[in-house]
Structure 1
Amino acid sequence: MCGEIEVGRCECCGKDNVPLERTYFRYPFECECHSPEHFILVRHCEDCDPIEPRETKVVFKTEDLKNPFALAFKIMQKEMRKTRDIKGEIYDVWESNLAMMIYDSVPNMTADRANEIASKWLDRLFKIGEQP
């Protein structure tokens, strides 16, 4: 199968029996239908520029839908992992806010120690450093 050209109907213009190219539109969340992130595949001829579909069907475990917090937490976990070392991104903002809260709440707390505690807490909460 390696090196073979896919032939079929273009999903954009409808031409039939033409060589097809594949374009993937990726979305930043896990689903049961794809891994590690949801995507939509558009098969199109070389003459067409693929357009992102207006709708998509996504498969989730019923258990996840019954607990929207868990679903949101998975999305947050992925974002936290991606932004762990980027200044000004979501991880950095959460770490700063937590450190400030710890510093203000605990007598004799140093800023460095508060930052260290906040960072360790976030890493444990979002299991950063572990494989997803």
Structure 2
Amino acid sequence: MSKYNNQTFLGYLGLVPFLLLVGAHFLFEHPLLSQAFLFYSISIMSFVAGSLWRTSNSNKFNWLVVLPTIPTLALALFDTKLALLYLGACYVFILALQKRTEDWPILAPDYQRMRERITGVVLVCHLFFAAQLHHNVTQI
């Protein structure tokens, strides 16, 4: 298996907890599920941003990559819906930054498609989860 095949497989495998937690919350609506989703998302977003650290010789790029991760731990203390929306936007921001690196054009097309698909699915998971939380609040 090539380097990109492993990265692609692991990338798609990383979607499983997002999908399971969204589905479980849809069925059971337990507060621990939203916390688990939030902390998993913070971890993965930090990992993705960290994996791009130093892919560029530009200090400006490196700071832009790390910028979204700075408030993430504090997000756990604030409104979960807002945290989910922020994190969803961070995934899109990180992908947009990655597409501007010198390395993006030379990455395997399968890897590029995987990153775009995963970012889309993760964004939808965040939006869906935030919508579920909003729906639960408006019903009370």
If the length of structure 2 is used for normalisation, what is the TM-score? 0.28
Question: Hey, which of these two has a bigger chunk of helix by percent?
Answer: 2
Question: Hey, which of these two has a bigger chunk of strand by percent?
Answer: 1
Which protein has greater RCO, CA pairs closer than 8 Å, 6+ apart?
Answer: 2
